[in-house]
A and B are shown apart, each in its own frame.
Chain A
Amino acid sequence: GDSVTQMEGPVTLSEEAFLTINCTYTATGYPSLFWYVQYPGEGLQLLLKATKADDKGSNKGFEATYRKETTSFHLEKGSVQVSDSAVYFCALKGFQKLVFGTGTRLLVSP
């Protein structure tokens, strides 16, 4: 079945450092891919999405490119802020549902 694998956390960075969170998927065909963010005590917020191969999703300085050759959708940001500290989830669109990875916690220190 469909599945998503994310790098384990926590990822600990200093402010203004470069961020990469790896995500790979297993699915039939080329599903839409998403990154969601969950701040402490809150629900999930859609961060960005890509609906077909080679698409680049971007939002709030975060980017991810849909790579069908490597079945990957890695999340990147050039300069993280303390306010980016949260849990990030990679997800794919399955049949009438979203399939999530286990999440990666990001901790950014001043």
Chain B
Amino acid sequence: DAGVTQSPTHLIKTRGQQVTLRCSPKSGHDTVSWYQQALGQGPQFIFQYYEEEERQRGNFPDRFSGHQFPNYSSELNVNALLLGDSALYLCASSLVEASYEQYFGPGTRLTVT
């Protein structure tokens, strides 16, 4: 049973560029949440997707957007990258009726130079 997978593992981008991160949820899960983990900090909630719609959003600017596909996989897009966007981006999947029990992927390490 495959767990949550994310791609790519590492990414280096330049300020002002755009980036897309991808996530495949654990088999059977229908809900995907994204978190940003800055170095030395705890994960911060970005948003959550269910049935291809954004259900809830944290305190992140509109430069951060997402998408969920019919197969429940998800993408996180960040436009106009800033140096402060450098972080580990974590995807977590769950069942909508048990959204508190989230399973995390290994993350994508984004470095903005």
Q: Which residues of B contact A46 (CB under 8 A)?
A: 101-103
Is B106's CB under 8 angstroms from A102's CB? Answer: no
Is B103's CB under 8 angstroms from A98's CB? Answer: no
Residue from B42, B55, B105 within 8 A of A103 (CB atoms): B42
Residue from A42, A98, A102 within 8 A of B102 (CB atoms): A98
> Which chain A residue shows the least CB distance to B106?
A43
A101-B48 contact in complex given A43-B106, A96-B99, C-beta closer than 8 Å = no
> Which chain A residue shows the least CB distance to B58?
A97
B 21-45 binary contact with A (CB < 8 Å = 1; else 0): 0000000000001010000111111
Q: Which residues of A contact B42 (CB under 8 A)?
A: 4, 89, 91, 100-103
Tell whether A86 is near chain B: CB-to-CB under 8 Å.
Answer: no
Is A100's CB under 8 angstroms from B100's CB? Answer: no
* Cα separation A103 to B37 with both chains bound (whole Å): 11
B residues contacting the other copy or chain, number (CB 8 A): 24
> Which chain B residue shows the least CB distance to A96?
B56
Tell whether A12 is near chain B: CB-to-CB under 8 Å.
Answer: no
A residues contacting the other copy or chain, number (CB 8 A): 24
Q: Which residues of B contact A95 (CB under 8 A)?
A: 56
Is A44's CB under 8 angstroms from B90's CB? Answer: yes
- B48 CB → nearest A CB, Å: 6
A98-B45 contact in complex given A32-B100, A43-B104, A43-B106, C-beta closer than 8 Å = yes
A98-B106 contact in complex given A43-B90, A44-B90, C-beta closer than 8 Å = no
Is A97's CB under 8 angstroms from B41's CB? Answer: no
CB pairs A–B below 8 angstroms (18 shown): A32-B100, A43-B4, A43-B107, A44-B43, A46-B103, A91-B42, A94-B45, A95-B56, A96-B56, A96-B99, A97-B48, A97-B56, A97-B58, A98-B35, A98-B45, A99-B45, A100-B44, A102-B41
